[in-house]
Amino acid sequence: VTRAAAAGRRVRLVGLGAGFDTRSLRLEGVWCAAEIDLPDVVAQKKEILARLAKRRPEILSRPTLLAADLNDAAQTASALREAMGVVGPADGVGGARDQADEHTVFVCEALMIYLDDAAATRLVRLCRDAAAESGGASF
């Protein structure tokens, strides 16, 4: 994140199975953030962030929370497409952006142990494909 931001790239953070992690709120240099997790987890995190936003209203703009079962190929592909469409505060509505200036960081801390082997392999491939049009990706 630090290197890409220092190089003038817009950094997109995509948390996979992020749970109640607050990395997307704490990392500096992140242009936009999305998190994908199970529907129940997303619902609970939205409630927690809504309460926190009463004291820190700036967190309302980040992260975008997306519900999907990462063991399900269709749900995963759909959520990743949506995550890659999330834009940061400097982009106007409907404005064109140069995706070559973007770098996507996928975070999947302690996630793979909960996925079957085929789903884990598929997830990495779907992430790679989702970020193909951007200026690069890392895990």
pLDDT at residue 139 is higher than 90: no
Query: Are 83 and 62 spatial neighbours (Cβ–Cβ below 8 Å)?
Result: no
Eight-class DSSP state of 107: E
What's the rounded Cα separation, in Å, for the pair 107 and 18? 8
Strand partners, 14: 34, 106
Residue 106 has which token pair? Answer: 């996928």
What residues contact residue 62 under an 8 Å CB cut-off, 6+ apart? Answer: 24, 25, 30, 32, 33
pLDDT confidence of residue 91: 53
What's the rounded Cα separation, in Å, for the pair 12 and 4? 10
| pLDDT tens digits for range 46-102 | 999 999 889 988 776 779 999 999 999 999 999 999 998 877 665 544 455 566 788
| pLDDT tens digits for range 94-130 | 455 566 788 899 999 889 999 999 999 999 999 998 8
Tokens 């003038």 map to which residue? 8
Rg (CA), the chain: 15
Rounded average pLDDT over 8-25: 90
pLDDT confidence of residue 93: 46
